[in-house]
Amino acid sequence: MTEDNQSTSSTEFDLVVLGATGFTGRQAAKWISEWAVSQRPELRWAVAGRNSDKLAKVAASLGVGPAPDVIQVDTSDKAGCAALAQRCAVLLTTVGPYARYGEHVIAGCAQAGTDYVDITGETPWVRQMIDKYDEVAQSTGAKIIPLCGFDSIPSDVGAYLICRALQAAQSQPTDVRALFSLKGGLNGGTLASALNMMELKQGRNLYHPHLLTPSDGREHLASKQPRDLQKPRFDEQLNSWITPFMMAPINTRVVRRTAAQLGIQGQGYGPEFRYSEAMRARSKWSAWQVASMLGVINGLGRSSVGRTMLKSFGPKPGQGPSAATMDGGFFRAKFWARGDDGQIARGQVSSSGDPGNRVTVNLLCTCATLLLTHRQELSERVGFLTPVSAFGDHLIDAMRALGMTVEASIDQGAG
């Protein structure tokens, strides 16, 4: 038995996948099952959710390795969630919208000292959870790591890597930008979470530039951060038309929290660090098309009638794109950064596969398994963490092992 296995022996399970009957949860359970067979056949794990019959079918359908145990729990049951957290070392949850179904799960993990990962993009809710449970999690040694999917690992890792490239060249990052291209599908859980944020009217909080930045860490990055892009424009540095990116208000806040948390540890990106994101457009016309579509969606989301319309046209919870759509997807995030001495760095984080489904499941499950395989090395990182402040270079290595491109270097032709 390895040292990491010994560290989880006080719990009944090493890992629990909560929400395993949902669209993303089923994929996560399959991923963990295959990983256990190839990497850790002794893994003690379980699937959990409201319906034990559906869970049993998921467990039986995995087809590789010993079937996981089945745990029936309702996320509205505070005591049940607390009991679940006490039974495992790591809890992976795909049950959203998290603002509706997530608090008791996080509270249970924070109080029990259980490590936690999810794929929420609901940053106003994450802020609320930090305010309520960060001190508790730090006192028990729990690692609470939300936002472990496509939002927001590529952004977090890309910014980290390109800043490190500049710092290795004795330059402090000042202006860092990311430009996304992608193709993929939408699942019902993601749509439900977005509609729930609209219904709760969280726009004002969502767009606060320092929503997730710890107050004692703001001195470690520029106080004035770029505003989220409001309309298309041509970016000279990126040599492309850019248009508003719907994930930017989420990803940029995570990157800034990482910069602040690393800064507190003396490992930040420097006091002039600024970060922004946009989506690449092929032309001025396509840039305005994307911006107009986002404007229509945001407009519809302001009213109950509009949200009903959006809901009726999208996938239902538990549904998602076809396997062909997920296999045919991709994302590419290109990074550009300027140092305080004028040096330029460029980088890329990219992968094949639908970003909101295939990539998200790969990243989520990778984070959960890193908590098991590197448990002792990461033991001092506790409380509410970002993917990078939790895992650092271990996450980069794991992404490359998945076949993802993760790179950054100084542009020798610039200066």
Provide the residue ranges of all domains of the chain, joining segments of one domain with +.
Answer: 3-150+360-395, 153-355+404-410
pLDDT computed for residue 272 by the predictor: 96
What kind and span of H or E run contains 35? helix 23-39
DSSP string computed for 222-257: -SSPPPPP-S-EEETTTTEEEE--TTHHHHHHHHHH
pLDDT computed for residue 1 by the predictor: 30
Name residue 223's amino acid. S
Instruction: Walk along the chain (415 residues) in steps of 10 and give the mean pLDDT of each run.
Output: 50 97 96 92 96 96 85 98 98 95 98 98 96 98 98 97 98 97 81 73 80 92 92 90 94 97 95 96 92 82 78 75 88 97 97 95 98 93 97 98 97 68
C-alpha torsion 208→155→158→399, nearest 10 = 150
pLDDT computed for residue 297 by the predictor: 78
For residue 396, which phi and psi values (nearest 5 degrees)?
Answer: -60, -45
The yes or no reply on domain 3-150+360-395 and CATH 3.40.50.12780 is no
Strands 344-352 and 330-339: antiparallel
Backbone CA torsion sign across 268, 269, 274, 280: negative
Note the pTM of the prediction, 2 decimals: 0.94
Q: How far apart are the two ends of the chain, measured CA to CA in Å? A: 52
pLDDT computed for residue 35 by the predictor: 93
Sheet with 115-118, strands from edge to edge, namely 69-72, 45-49, 13-18, 88-93, 115-118, 143-145, 383-384
CA 112 to chain centroid, in Å, comes to 23
pLDDT computed for residue 190 by the predictor: 75
In our burial notation (b when 16+ CB lie closer than 10 A, e otherwise), range 359-376 reads: bbbbbbbbbbbbbbbbbe
From CA 100, how far away is CA 117, in angstroms rounded?
17
From CA 116, how far away is CA 135, in angstroms rounded?
15
Between helices 304-313 and 284-300, what is the axis angle to 10°?
120
- Distances in Å between the Cα of 386 and the Cα atoms of 4, 97, 116, 123, 276 are 22, 19, 12, 12, 17
Taking residue 61's Cβ as centre, other Cβ atoms within 10 Å add up to 12
3-state secondary structure of 112: helix
Beta-carbon-side half-sphere exposure of residue 396 (alpha carbons within 13 Å) = 18
Taking each continuous run of H as one helix and of E as one strand, the counts in the chain are 17, 14
pLDDT computed for residue 3 by the predictor: 42
pLDDT computed for residue 6 by the predictor: 40
For residue 401, which phi and psi values (nearest 5 degrees)?
Answer: -65, -25
**Cβ neighbours of residue 56 under 8 Å, at least 6 residues apart?**
70
| Token pair in block for residue 224 | 């004035």
Question: Which residues is 235 bridged to in the sheet?
Answer: 240
**Cβ neighbours of residue 374 under 8 Å, at least 6 residues apart?**
4, 391, 394
pLDDT computed for residue 9 by the predictor: 66
What kind and span of H or E run contains 15? strand 13-18
Residue found under tokens 């089945």: 70
Domain range 153-355+404-410, CATH class: alpha beta
| Token pair in block for residue 65 | 């390795």
pLDDT computed for residue 138 by the predictor: 97
C-alpha torsion 55→323→287→123, nearest 10 = 20
3-state secondary structure of 276: strand
Of 392, 403, 367, the C-alpha closest to 31 is 367
